[in-house]
Amino acid sequence: MRSEAAVTGIGMITPAGLTTESTWATVCQGHSLARTDPDLAGLPVDISCRVDGFDADAVHGRRLARRLDRFIHLALVAAQQAVRDAELDPATWNAPRVAVILGVGGNSMHSYFREFEVLSEGHPELVSPLALPRSVPSMAAAEVAIALDARGPNFTVASACASGATALAVAAEMVTSGACDIALAGGAESGLSPMTVTSFQQMHALSERTDAPHRASRPFDVDRDGFVLAEGAAVLVLEHPRNALRRGADQRALLCGHASTSDAYHPVAPHPEGTGVEHALRTALQESGLHARDIGHINAHGTSTPFGDKAEARALHRVFGPVPPPVTAPKSILGHALGAAGAIEAALTVLTQQHQLIPPTANLDRQDGDWELDIVTQAPRATAINASVSNAFGFGGQNTVLVFAEA
């Protein structure tokens, strides 16, 4: 028997919207949200996908907002939304049985950047005592636990751009094993500091279409040249299906299979044949008890990098045959939110399955001829979906695949 974790709540804050509903509606429109970023003025790459209209002082209160860094602001919003969506009450839940597992790709550089300037100017006494606790990756999960009185297991997963998906996989194991009753799991990231952007640009990982930001992110397109950095957060509430049924919770989907593998190939480049991806796909499907033919939709990692998209497409063909299930690549619209991306796209995969509607991929004009996929473009596609796959990969050859089925 396959082990399953029920998704009973979703919270999202992304460049597409401040809520799950607004994010879903905008993603279904299929237009890229990349634009010139005034905060990156003067850099060789000055485009990004930011979360607009979010006032941390208004949402969290000025005192708390000042104590936290941007990625934690976003994590708190997503977690609180997810708990409300699941119709859970932190005042009455069994707090020691509630876990928080979040994925964060790396240290936030927003606050550190300012503190480094103070230190380099010879004023160590002016460095904020909050510099560490507002910025280290583990504090996203810690602050969510403090805000919601979740006293169970609490930690952060770091597997580069697969972090959010890996956190969901770890949380599902904890729920199904009985280590906790409820897990708030997902990812949060805001990698839009000048240093972060410059570092990725120096690696030639970013699109340099700064004259046409809305055309920059183009997964699987023959003219792709890199991704657009983004920020955001998504948190899913996971419960054992038996517990969800007992309390009458709406089960949005079942996380019924997952796998994590390593390419063990290169610090930043994927294996050119996607062998680690293929292994993760086959293992996740085997764990789910499903076959490749049962999958009706694939949410691709699809970063818009020349080598990454090709490796993913090759792996999909080997696992699913000459005509893989319909594919979408949300980074074409939302940009790449690094450690949060896997969680955001897992949430979108659940919504796709619920609505039986696949959002389109933006900016796909022409695929490479030797590995074409059935990529949804132009407009959402209505189709029957009983099970879906969500892919997330990262530097160091990190691969995580999640399989969702109807509840």
**pLDDT one-digit tens code per residue, 61-109:** 999 999 999 999 999 999 999 999 999 999 999 999 999 999 999 866 7
Examine the pLDDT at 238 and tell me if it is beyond 70. yes
Each residue's pLDDT tens digit, 124-153 = 999 999 888 888 899 999 999 999 999 999
C-alpha span between 263 and 398 (Å, rounded) = 7
Which residues are identified as catalytic?
A: 161, 301, 336
Confidence of residue 267 (pLDDT cuts 50, 70, 90): very high
250: part of which helix (H) or strand (E)?
none
Each residue's pLDDT tens digit, 373-391 = 999 999 999 999 999 999 9
- Segments of 139-262 assigned E as strands: 154-157, 182-190, 231-239, 253-262
| 3-class state of residue 328 by DSSP | strand
| 3-class state of residue 214 by DSSP | helix
pLDDT at 114: 83
Examine the pLDDT at 1 and tell me if it is beyond 80. no
Q: Which residues of 70-102 are buried (b: 16+ CB within 10 A; e: fewer)?
A: bbbbbbbbbbbbbbebbebeeeebeeebbbbbb
Residues 82 and 184 sit within 8 Å (Cβ to Cβ): yes
**Average pLDDT in the chain:** 96
